[in-house]
């Protein structure tokens, strides 16, 4: 694994120990720094959350400071899942290490990803065990749609631009149908007039759905 990892303590001064851990995964050919403003937007709604913003694992794919999580040259439907799978052990190691560092369990961890980072987040929670309690995926898709009988222990919140020409909204709509069929808690928001972007409206919707999901989870444990 290469690249920098940015860490931010909770903004709430009344809580020394983080209640949640949010891990932010940037898009293709971007940088960890590009996700820091988005991370702070989430922390404004979750002041007791610690933030981790890592750099992608494939720094040579684009050159310079821009990084990918996995190579995109020659990427197609046949090798997409394989390429994502090759980086998942490093992603899991990163998340588990940060969970230990901050003392936050998996069920209070949230993966937030945009584009390629969202794909990594979605694929990371398909495996056995629970890596994160929730995923917020912006303008993303599964590398391979979950198979019938799959067990996913995370809540999934999908936010997608109506006019996304890089990752079609069709992928998000298909994922929502499949996840619902698997009885995985899932929300889907198609943001009108948005393309392949992290707009103010999209970020607000993603953080709101996450808040609503956490509230619903708490309420369910009270009955």
Domains of the chain, each with CATH number or no CATH: 5-221 (3.40.50.1820)
Residue with more model confidence, 131 or 67? 131
Q: Which of these ranges, 69-83, 107-121, 195-209, has the smallest mean pLDDT?
A: 69-83
pTM tops 0.85? yes
> Quick check: 176 and 158 in contact, CB under 8 A?
yes
| Token reading at 213 | 């999901």
pLDDT band per the 50, 70, 90 thresholds, residue 15: low
- Read off φ and ψ for residue 171, nearest 5 degrees: -65, -40
Dist. CA 105–CA 108, nearest whole Å: 6
Catalytic residues: 115, 164, 196
pLDDT in tens, 112-157: 999 999 999 999 999 778 999 999 999 999 999 999 989 999 999 9
Say what the pLDDT of residue 215 is: 78
> Quick check: 196 and 118 in contact, CB under 8 A?
no
pLDDT at 223 over 80: no
The residue count of the chain comes to 223
């Amino acid at each position: 694994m290469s690249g920098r990892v940015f860490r931010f303590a909770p903004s709430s001064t009344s809580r020394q120990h983080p209640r949640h851990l949010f891990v932010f995964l940037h898009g293709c050919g971007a940088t960890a720094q590009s996700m820091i403003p988005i991370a702070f937007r989430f922390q404004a709604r979750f002041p007791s959350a610690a933030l981790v913003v890592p750099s992608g694992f494939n720094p040579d794919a684009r050159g310079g400071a821009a990084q990918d999580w996995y190579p995109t040259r020659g990427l197609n439907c046949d090798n997409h899942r394989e390429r994502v799978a090759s980086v998942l052990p490093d992603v899991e190691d990163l998340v588990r290490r940060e969970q230990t560092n901050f003392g936050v369990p998996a069920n209070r961890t949230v993966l937030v990803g945009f584009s390629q980072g969202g794909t990594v987040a979605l694929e990371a929670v398909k495996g056995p065990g629970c890596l994160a309690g929730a995923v917020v995926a912006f303008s993303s898709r599964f590398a391979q749609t979950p198979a019938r009988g799959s067990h996913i222990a995370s809540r999934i919140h999908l936010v997608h631009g109506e006019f996304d020409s890089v990752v079609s909204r069709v992928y998000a709509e298909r994922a929502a149908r499949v996840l619902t069929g698997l009885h995985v808690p899932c929300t889907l928001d198609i943001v009108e007039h948005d393309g392949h972007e992290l707009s103010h409206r999209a970020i607000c919707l993603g953080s709101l759905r996450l808040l609503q999901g956490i509230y619903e989870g708490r309420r369910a444990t009270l009955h």
